[in-house]
Amino acid sequence: MLPAFEDFEPLFTAEEIQRRVAEMGREITRDLEGCDDVVVVGVLKGAVVFMADLIRHLPQDVVSCDFLRLSSYEGTQSSGSVRFDFDLTQPIQGKDVLIVEDIIDTGLSMSFLLEALKPRSPKSLKIATLLHKPARQQREVQIGYLGFTIPDRFVIGYGLDLEGKYRNLEYIAALRPEVQAKLTPRPEHDYG
């Protein structure tokens, strides 16, 4: 049984998110000084909202955007293998690449993605993620820019979904702990 919207409580307000995204944009812009060709890669579908807000804080004259999509889940459980559903539309050789992800929890998908992109010879390869859930981490990945660290709770909003819904919430909500403890199987996202 899937949880209802009423089973969630606010975790981060729209204002808190926007403030942190602007700070991340300033950090990234500082680090991009001297770069002349940066490809910001959004991991579909969850990162779209975060990426749209983040790129507004980056230098307009050096940034281009692309997208890719990975899948590793069947239903609510990880299949254990990751694959590309949709790949980049441009070469990244010799370019600075910033991967934008909504959340990193197990690290499996992001580890797969980094290993898949390295042979394409980018000049640099960094990750910006809005959320990190270290309690579920199975594989360590180097996060260059982090919005928030969160506890092991299922979250929706600001790009994150439950069965395709709630991505358009301006804030992030977390499943109430007492509800999450009762759910079997536990809902999971298809993120890295």
Catalytic residues: 105
The strand pair at 124-132 and 155-156 is best described as unpaired
User: Is the CB of residue 26 less than 8 Å from the CB of residue 56?
Assistant: no
Edge-to-edge order in the sheet of strand 172-175 = 8-12, 172-175, 155-156
- Nearest-angstrom CA–CA distance, 65 and 117: 16
d(CA 157, CA 170): 7
DSSP H or E run through 67: strand 63-74
The β-bridge relationship of strands 38-44 and 96-104 is parallel
Distance CA 182, CA 186 (A): 9
- The tokens for 5 are 């919207």
Is residue 2 packed enough to be buried (19+ CB in 10 Å), middle (13-18) or exposed (0-12)? exposed
